[in-house]
């Protein structure tokens, strides 16, 4: 088990609503990356936060936004939910600037939009 925890594990939202997903990074890690994994697909990079600043973004619209807190935990917010937003959302923590390359993934949050 990694030290990355995500909450909640599952949730169901209605189209048009807003959702906040949370991620606690592994101890000592200062970087959190968020991914969207649609059913049967590989994870797709949404964005990354490094020392509380957004540090790179994938091909996702602005209604996907995030935050990183001083303790390096992070939130992913999605506004105006669409049916296609239904997916497993993964966060990965890593040590930016460190010599250890590995990004550790949490177990994910399964979001269903109805």
Partner 1 sequence: QQQVKQSPQSLIVQKGGISIINCAYENTAFDYFPWYQQFPGKGPALLIAIRPDVSEKKEGRFTISFNKSAKQFSLHIMDSQPGDSATYFCAATVAGGTSYGKLTFGQGTILTVHP
Q: Does 50 help bind partner 1 (rule: CB under 8 A)?
A: yes
Phi, psi of 113 (to 5 degrees): -110, 125
In angstroms, give the least distance from the CB of 25 to partner 1: 10
Q: Give the DSSP per-residue string, 31-100.
A: EEEEEEE-TTS--EEEEEEETTEEEEE-S--TTEEEEE-TTS-EEEEE-S--GGG-EEEEEEEE-TTSS-
Chain position carrying tokens 């269903």: 112
Pick from 26, 108, 111, 113 the residue near partner 1 by CB under 8 A.
Answer: 108
Residues 19-38 that bind partner 1 (CB under 8 A): 31-33, 35
Residue 42 CB, nearest approach to partner 1 (Å): 3
What does the binding site for partner 1 look like in residue numbers (CB under 8 A)? 2, 4, 31-33, 35, 40-45, 48, 50, 55-56, 90, 92-94, 96-97, 101-108
């Amino acid at each position: 088990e990694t030290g990355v925890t995500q909450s909640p594990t599952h949730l169901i939202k209605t189209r048009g609503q807003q959702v906040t997903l949370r991620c606690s990074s592994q101890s000592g890690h200062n970087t959190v990356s968020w991914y969207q994994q649609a059913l049967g697909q590989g994870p797709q990079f949404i964005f990354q936060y490094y020392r509380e600043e957004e540090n790179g973004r994938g091909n996702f619209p602005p209604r996907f936004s995030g935050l990183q807190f001083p303790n390096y935990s992070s939130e992913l917010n999605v506004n105006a939910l669409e049916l296609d937003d239904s997916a497993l959302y993964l966060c990965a923590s890593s040590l930016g600037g460190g010599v250890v390359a590995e990004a550790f993934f949490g177990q994910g949050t399964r979001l269903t939009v109805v």
